[in-house]
A = this chain, B = another copy of it.
Amino acid sequence: MLRLFSRNFLNNLFVRFFSLFRKFSESEKEILSFLKKKLGFSPNNIKYYRRAFRHKSAAGKTEEGFKRSNERLEYLGDAVLDAVIADYLLHYYPNEHEGFLTKMRSKIVSRSHMNSLAVTLGIDKIVKVKLGDADKQETINGNALEAFIGAVYMDKGYEFSKSVIIQKILKKHINMHELQSIDTDFKSKVIEWAQGNKKGIHFETEEKTISDDLSTFQTSVYIDGKIWGCGEGSSKKKAEQQAAEEGCKHLFID
């Protein structure tokens, strides 16, 4: 433990000492200022954050043909975020069932919520992209936020990432009570979308008997006669919601 501590300490000291003598590029200065002003810390190693804010459209390739984009950090950050939020919600709601906790976490990490959080934090200003498509930009910001969390984890470890996520993101920018009251009703959403776009929509549900006292329901959602989502659940409502959620996903309905 002590050896590990000393090695990390010396390593950090080494990196910090030499960083005094190197010039930071404009984009690095931007990142340093973002970390200091928005999140209140300086990095040990800026390379993780440079990587986190680089979308694949703006990424160069290594000699082996490997793209230096933020996708691997996003994969890591996504998992770290899930673990920290699970921990946080477990303490925040000491008596709630895990189904409720899962639902709350889904709301926090939903695509649209992560994108708006990224914009609130100002990540859209520093992320490097080489695309013009405004729609695509939105996902890019949410993904960059996840990659940023992966970078903090690589740079400073789990406990530090946890404190950044809880103190600087969850407590500062998320109103848990407000989020709790939002009902993610996918059925209403997909019906509203279909009506707005003048498409015919209907749900078909079949009941499947498993044993004397156990049935499952399978629902398909049809838009203009074509299946766009399937769902299964222990009630008709659940199966419909799942089918509608899949429909929303396939049709890019937020």
A interface list, Cβ under 8 A from B: 62, 64, 66, 71-72, 74-76, 78-80, 82-83, 85-87, 90, 95, 97-98, 101-102, 153, 157-159, 162, 206, 218, 220, 226-230, 232, 246, 250
Contacts and interface: CB of A to CB of B under 8 A. Distances in A.
24 contacts: A71-B97, A72-B90, A72-B101, A75-B86, A75-B98, A75-B101, A75-B102, A76-B83, A76-B87, A79-B82, A79-B83, A79-B85, A79-B87, A80-B83, A80-B86, A82-B82, A87-B153, A158-B158, A158-B162, A159-B159, A220-B230, A230-B230, A230-B246, A232-B250
Nearest to A252: B210
Contacts of A232: 250
A132 to B, nearest CB: 14
A85 B246 CA distance: 28
Interface SS of A by simple majority: helix
Nearest to A249: B232
A213 B162 CA distance: 42
- How many copies of this kind of chain does the complex include? 2
A98 to B, nearest CB: 4
B90 A86 contact: no
B95 A76 contact: no
Nearest to A70: B98
6 shortest interchain CB distances as A-B pairs: A75-B98, A79-B86, A83-B83, A79-B83, A158-B158, A79-B82
B66 A95 contact: yes
A80 B87 CA distance: 9
Contacts of A80: 83, 86
Contacts of A153: 87
A101 to B, nearest CB: 6
Contacts of A158: 83, 158-159, 162
B86 A76 contact: yes
Contact of A229 (B79, B82, B230): B230
Given A95-B66, A227-B230, A90 B76 contact: yes
Contacts of A78: 86
Contacts of A75: 86, 90, 98, 101-102
A57 to B, nearest CB: 15
Contacts of A64: 95
Nearest to A216: B250
Contact of A98 (B72, B90, B227): B72
